A and B are shown apart, each in its own frame.
Chain A
């Protein structure tokens, strides 16, 4: 196009920038509607679920729920004290196992493992895979190796804690590795150049720099652990025990197991109890996730 042609064309056009076409605006609106629709659908589903549970459970949401023990025959006086304590003990036990093992493994894989070696790649691949294994499979593993078999601990709190540890360990390792990897190599280099040993560098620079991410991951993993039902049922958690767990070797139940037990019953009063238990469990999960979000926002290192 010559200069004269351009000038001629410009003269015939009133505007340089063409107006937005009708077709484009319709398409934009269409996409927006689809996305709003998807969002609305999810919100509606959650709202219906929550509402049903609150309506069913609220009448039973009282101090009695926390102070009374479960019962299979007297729904009026049933509570979930042993289940609440069981869940809390399981959480503490799982944390006690998963924190040291998970962090140590993450450090090994990020800082020490030579990823060109086949067995290290093999371990990494397996951890990725284990993170997506269905939880009931961990229950069967726990039943065969922990409750019976080599460890033969029986259906005890300790067996439950170990099973849940195995379940969430891959997630903790993966999140831990990501947090460690987020610490820039220049920080490690700076420490090493001052004459720090590898361990001093990890312990005093890399770990403090990644601890917020690791802690967040651990809390989210624990909240997954206390929500698990299938593995605990498979390893033989007690149903409606009228006693609190009193040690590592004690029989136990947990809130999800108790919810399952109550909701199986035909008596509608037990369904109300199940809903009330769900409220308690959801409250606990909400609290834990809030702590995780707080930790991330407050302590996460911006590099």
Chain B
């Protein structure tokens, strides 16, 4: 597990009004024996970054995802897995209010982020997205130079400082700098798919978010590019909380600290499919001794 290498240094960005305590204890007491025991109060994993409480997502009044209650931990990689149509991507898009862009979408419940409900009336989704970055399934660089792709975000959010430096730092964090430092003015469309996706990660990191949401970031990439992105995720999780949707269970097992398994609830009929969170736990536990039978069937390949 990548977890074992993590240093238990104290969190420099710890905020005062963190909704920890009761919500995080549920995962703390389930830590499997395979993991190195950590002093609970000092490891980042005892702090929640998103405290989701009874989150429902509706499209045009129809329930799509129901009753997701889960604390997602700071500075951890949380993988969302499950069969197609189980609502894992929909749920991910709740976390930075991307669902607001879909006409007729409605989110109920609470998602507490740094003590604030993301769906409170006075919260501006644009401000939410400045703190919670996103990487999409298909690399979507802007049709501009590599440099301009990175600089776009810092410019629009009004970041101060030397833009060249900001761009260089972002590219370095996404371990792309050495590949592209001599062709920053080239169009990003000329890069390979894997490089484009790392550029998208660099672009998201350039605005210095707190969280990175990744929606199947490797599904369009070859195994080598996938590998590089996974390494990258493990590197940057020291500074960022990551939530990743993946169809690839090995990927979830390789990179994530916690795994949330979603499934499709067909009890209301085939035309009323509802996504539900079945189990959310330490990754190793989900894959070796899941509590729910449906999780076990899924991770062992019996269905899905």
Contacts and interface: CB of A to CB of B under 8 A. Distances in A.
Interface of A: 114, 116, 184, 186-187, 189-197, 200, 204-205, 208-209, 301-303
B98 A190 contact: no
A198 B189 CA distance: 24
B142 A195 contact: no
A210 B133 CA distance: 26
A205 B140 CA distance: 12
Given A184-B140, A194-B129, A194-B203, A189 B103 contact: no
Contacts of B200: 190
B157 A209 contact: no
B136 A194 contact: no
B153 interface: yes
B156 A204 contact: yes
B127 interface: yes
Interface in B133-166: 133-134, 136, 138, 140-143, 152-153, 156-157
A197 B100 CA distance: 13
B102 to A, nearest CB: 11
Contact of B136 (A114, A116, A190, A195): A190
B157 A195 contact: yes
B101 interface: yes
A26 to B, nearest CB: 49
Contacts of A197: 126, 156
19 contacts: A116-B103, A184-B140, A186-B138, A190-B141, A190-B203, A191-B152, A192-B126, A192-B129, A193-B96, A193-B98, A194-B129, A194-B156, A194-B157, A194-B203, A195-B156, A195-B207, A196-B153, A197-B126, A205-B152
A189 B98 contact: yes
Given A194-B156, A195-B207, A204-B152, A189 B143 contact: no
A189 B157 contact: no
B90 to A, nearest CB: 14
A99 B130 CA distance: 33
Interface in B150-206: 152-153, 156-157, 189, 200, 203-204
Contacts of A187: 140, 142-143
Q: Which 9 A-B pairs have the closest CB atoms?
A: A195-B130, A186-B140, A193-B134, A194-B153, A190-B140, A195-B129, A196-B156, A200-B156, A301-B143
B207 A192 contact: no
Contacts, number: 68
| Interface SS of chain A | helix
A193 B96 CA distance: 8
B138 A194 contact: no
A184 B157 CA distance: 23
A187 B126 CA distance: 16
A186 B137 CA distance: 10
Contacts of B129: 192-195
A56 B101 CA distance: 62
Of A194, A196, A208, which is in contact with the most chain B CB atoms at under 10 Å from its CB? A194
B219 to A, nearest CB: 14
Nearest to A193: B134
A302 to B, nearest CB: 8
A204 B152 CA distance: 9
Nearest to B153: A194
Contacts of A303: 143
Given A187-B140, A301-B143, A193 B133 contact: yes
Given A114-B103, A189-B98, A194-B207, 16 more contacts: A184-B140, A187-B143, A190-B136, A190-B142, A192-B98, A192-B101, A193-B133, A194-B157, A195-B131, A195-B156, A197-B126, A204-B152, A204-B156, A205-B142, A209-B143, A302-B189
Contacts of B130: 194-195
Nearest to A195: B130
Nearest to B126: A197
